[in-house]
Amino acid sequence: MPTNLDRYERIAALYDWLDLPFEYGCYRRIRPLLFQGLSGRLLDAGVGTGRNFPFYPSGSHVIGIDFSPAMLARAKRRINRSIAASIELKTLDVTALDFPDCSFDAAVATFLFCVLPDESQVAALRELGRVVKAGGMIRLLNYVRPHGRVRGAIARLWQPFAAWAFAASFDRRTEALFAKARLELLESRYVVRDLIKFIAVRNAKS
């Protein structure tokens, strides 16, 4: 059975093409929400092929991580899309970050937590909380199971392909795990119908 890494190594060359309708249909409109008001040293967890690059805050230094070397190779080709921020890319697993405690001012993750398996969610949240400074912001964009009848039916039809290609699910319980990771929920709202949420949490450690 293929691992998540196997999937992304396999699909990296096609990823942007598969994602193109979604990128220009809605993603580009909501990506800036992740970075509003942020500055300094930022972590982009699950940076993928670098679609967030144009939206990085001016003057910031962003370290983008991904566990797939093939996805990062695509990101490197896009690195000049950000002229306002300096960017560094690293091959890392979000559940085992090779950074000191409190080494980032904030962190973001774009559709990462709908891909991470359930057993990895708390570890990943705790690692983000560990490397972000006390009181620092962690922001997520995440798919959830839609409530509407039509979108719910579409999600059920789409789920087998999303799981096969991206290891993605509409049913991750990320929001229920913040307390275990010592993260304080500040905001959770739909930004694309009842399908995609913007979530902001704060590092609660003292």
For the stretch 8-20, pLDDT in tens is 998 899 899 988 8
Q: Encode the chain in three state secondary structure.
A: CCCHHHHHHHHHHHHHHHHHHHHHHHHHHHHHHHCCCCCCEEEEECCCCCCCHHHCCCCCEEEEEECCHHHHHHHHHCHHHCCCCEEEEEECCCCCCCCCCCCEEEEEEECCCCCCCHHHHHHHHHHHHHHEEEEEEEEEEEECCCCCHHHHHHHHHHHHHHHHHHCCCCCCCHHHHCCCCCEEEEEEEEEECCCEEEEEEEECCC
Residue that the structure tokens 């993750």 belong to = 109
Low-confidence stretches of the chain (pLDDT beneath 50):
none
pLDDT at position 199, please? 98
Domain holding 44, by residue range, is: 4-203
Q: The tokens of 99 are what?
A: 């950074």
pLDDT at position 16, please? 92
pLDDT at position 170, please? 80
pLDDT at position 184, please? 95
pLDDT at position 205, please? 64
> In one letter, which amino acid is 94?
V
pLDDT at position 80, please? 81
Q: For residue 97, what is the domain's CATH number?
A: 3.40.50.150
Q: The tokens of 58 are what?
A: 């001016």
Report the predicted TM-score, pTM, of the whole model to 2 decimal places. 0.93
User: How many domains does the structure of the chain reveal?
Assistant: 1
Q: Which residues pair with 183 in a beta bridge?
A: 203
